[in-house]
């Protein structure tokens, strides 16, 4: 069959996905236009994103061919910082929905000649971009961009400085729900370089709203201020944080975002903080380990732990990045009932 003629199962898949865009939460999210952080989202919007992602995951498990739902859309990935997982999964998600994708290579773009994020964005918009997926080293960069673009363009924050990484938190929630169903009352321990982690902040804002019992554990120089106002319990020792945890999220030591001297040495850090099988015994026997990647093997966790499929959910997180980002793009960009 020629590839441009859709087969009946693709019709069914398309209808199933479109059906998930018609809930109140889905409409609210569509009208919001941008995804800047998880703290902006209502419970209804989060449930709608999860429901769309669940349908998307079922579909792509059977058939990865393009779904022709966003055929008239252009999605531009504008990453001012390196990325493997986030950029690739946004690309696959957009392509699977039928959109065209521009992957701007910042190192060979006019950014190296001093072009601002706004001029880069308006250039891409002039070429027809409907969504800008932006990662930037400055906290607040995505929000600034969302205030500057025309009303028919959506901005998705793919990480801004230490501030937020909403699609990572949404895929973490999706993965937790896949493992245990309802997350309310479950204990999550976030461990490591919390201070420099946008992943931790977006997860805290998302999961405390859903009733997750969030514990944060870090050496004092890597613990940010103001966490108790965010509704989490803080610890400076591993044991109480790990105690009876359902989920443990290890964070990378983000040396590129740190000033010098915050930790004495990586060796000292390993001795006290590195997660291994013995330390994980303090958690529930059913505990699952999360890590947003990239992993520094042997620093924040041992290779044995990272690669143990009975504990590690790291591959599942990566896999789930595609349906979750499909959900975000479809809900923001689909034009039924939309602002477009």
Rg of the chain, C-alpha, whole Å: 20
Site for ligand NCD in 161-180 (CB under 6 A): 165, 168
Selection from 99, 164, 161 nearest residue 132 by Cα? 99
Where do we find the tokens 């990378």?
A: 252
Nearer to ligand NCD, 21 or 167 (CB): 167
x/- binding map, residues 235-274, to ligand NCD, per CB under 6 A?
Answer: -----------------x-x--------------------
Options 199, 207, 216, 333; binder of ligand NCD; rule CB under 6 A: 199
Nearer to ligand NCD, 44 or 81 (CB): 81
Options 20, 48, 77, 86; binder of ligand NCD; rule CB under 6 A: 86
Options 187, 198, 201, 235; binder of ligand NCD; rule CB under 6 A: 198
Position with the least CB separation from ligand NCD:
252
Q: What distances in angstroms separate CA 122 from CA 116, 134, 146, one per listed residue?
A: 10, 13, 12
Site for ligand NCD in 278-337 (CB under 6 A): 292-293
Site membership for ligand NCD, residue 85 (CB under 6 A): yes
Phi and psi at residue 146, in whole multiples of 5°? -65, -30
DSSP bridge pairs for 74: 100
Nearer to ligand NCD, 51 or 318 (CB): 318
Site membership for ligand NCD, residue 57 (CB under 6 A): no
DSSP bridge pairs for 215: 189, 233
DSSP bridge pairs for 100: 74
Cα of first residue to Cα of last residue in the chain, in angstroms, is 34
CB 189 within 8 A of CB 283: yes
Residues of the shown chain interacting with ligand NCD in the complex, contacts defined by CB under 6 A: 85-86, 159, 165, 168, 198-199, 252, 254, 292-293
């Amino acid at each position: 069959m020629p590839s441009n003629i859709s087969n009946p199962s693709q019709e069914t898949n398309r209808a199933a996905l479109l059906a998930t865009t018609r809930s109140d939460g889905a409409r609210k999210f569509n009208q919001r236009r941008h995804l800047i952080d998880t703290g902006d989202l209502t419970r209804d919007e989060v449930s709608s994103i999860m429901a769309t992602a669940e349908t998307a995951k079922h579909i792509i498990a059977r058939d990865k061919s393009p779904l022709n739902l966003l055929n008239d859309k252009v999605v531009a990935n504008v990453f001012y910082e390196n990325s493997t997982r986030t950029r690739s999964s946004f690309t696959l998600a957009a392509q699977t929905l039928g959109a065209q994708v521009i992957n701007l290579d910042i190192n060979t773009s006019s950014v190296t000649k001093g072009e601002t994020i706004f001029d880069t964005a308006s250039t891409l918009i002039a070429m027809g971009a409907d969504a800008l997926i932006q990662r930037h080293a400055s906290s607040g960069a995505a929000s600034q961009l969302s205030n500057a673009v025309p009303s028919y363009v959506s901005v998705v924050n793919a990480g801004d400085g230490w501030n937020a990484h909403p699609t990572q938190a949404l895929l973490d929630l999706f993965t937790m729900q896949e493992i245990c169903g309802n997350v309310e009352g479950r204990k999550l321990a976030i461990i490591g370089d919390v201070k420099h982690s946008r992943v931790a902040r977006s997860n805290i804002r998302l999961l405390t709203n859903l009733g997750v019992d969030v514990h944060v554990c870090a050496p004092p120089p890597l613990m940010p201020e103001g966490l108790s106002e965010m509704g989490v319990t803080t610890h400076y020792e591993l044991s109480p944080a790990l105690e009876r945890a359902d989920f443990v999220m290890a964070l990378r030591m983000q040396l590129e975002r740190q000033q010098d001297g915050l930790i004495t040495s990586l060796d000292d850090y390993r001795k006290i903080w590195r997660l291994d099988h013995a330390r994980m015994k303090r958690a529930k026997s059913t505990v699952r380990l999360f890590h947003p990647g990239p992993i520094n093997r042997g620093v924040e966790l041992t290779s044995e732990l990272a690669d143990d499929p009975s504990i590690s959910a790291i591959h599942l997180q990566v896999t789930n990045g595609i349906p979750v980002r499909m959900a975000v793009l479809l809900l923001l960009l689909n034009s039924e009932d939309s602002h477009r």
